[in-house]
Amino acid sequence: MLYRLLCSSLLIFGFSTYALATETNNTIESQFKAALLCNVAPIDGRDAKVVKQLSEQNITVKNLEEDGLINLEYHFAKPLEIMNTTVSQIKYQGDSGSYFYAIAKGDIDTFAKSMAAIPIPADLKKEISWGDIGQYYQYTAPVTEENPFPSIILIGRDKNVKSDEFYFGCEEFDS
């Protein structure tokens, strides 16, 4: 009887630990997704506590800029699944404003349609696009006199990447 009780306890605790790990992973995935969609501030891997927490989840942070500018890369040992795409790397770059974006595998047109994003018109390409990555966009709030530069979700491809690879993420402007 004692043996059964001990085995049952170990089994329950084992599943509890698994559930906690799964919940933590889902939370990390949810946090990255929310930041990519401009719902929360980007995860700042310049903070040692954040780096430690991410490391415990098998996420490596590379700080490519030591002079105060933001130039971070997040590498995932197990790719994240975000909105029917596979994400193994996220970048966070900033100076005057910032861009927090994923390098995703999937179909760009299907993804853009699922976001209700629209093609970037030629007259806005210089204003809201970084090079040739911005092909679709979606403002996160209306453009108003009080908020002339709302955050934007950009979706696009570089001409040098594979056909099933694209970028998406949140571009924020300094006011």
Task: Provide mean pLDDT across the span 114-141.
Answer: 82
Identify which has the larger pLDDT, 95 or 21. 95
Domain that holds residue 62: 2-172
Closest CA to 153 of 112, 104, 95, 106: 112
Distance CA 156, CA 168 (A): 7
Q: What is the 3-state secondary structure (H, E, C) of the chain?
A: CHHHHHHHHHHHHHHHHHHHHHHHHHHHHHHHHHHHCCCCCCCCCCCHHHHHHHHHCCEEEEECCCCCCEEEEEEEEEEEEECCEEEEEEEEEEECEEEEEEEEECCHHHHHHHCCCEECCHHHHHHHCCCCCCCEEEECCCCCCCCCCCCEEEEECCCCCCCCEEEEEEEECCC
- The pLDDT tens digits for 133-150 are 668 999 999 999 999 889
If you average pLDDT over every residue of the chain, what do you get? 81
Q: Which residues contact 81 (CB under 8 A, 6 or more apart)?
A: 29, 87
Label residue 107 by pLDDT band (50, 70, 90).
very high
Tell me which of 139 and 23 has the higher pLDDT: 139
Q: Copy the structure tokens of residue 91.
A: 């970048």
Res. 131 pLDDT band, cuts 50 70 90: low
Looking at the structure of the chain, the number of domains it has is: 1
**Spatial CB neighbours of 78, under 8 Å, sequence gap ≥ 6:** 58
Q: How many CB atoms lie within 10 A of CB 136?
A: 22
pLDDT tens string 51-104: 999 999 999 999 998 777 899 999 999 999 998 999 999 999 988 789 999 999
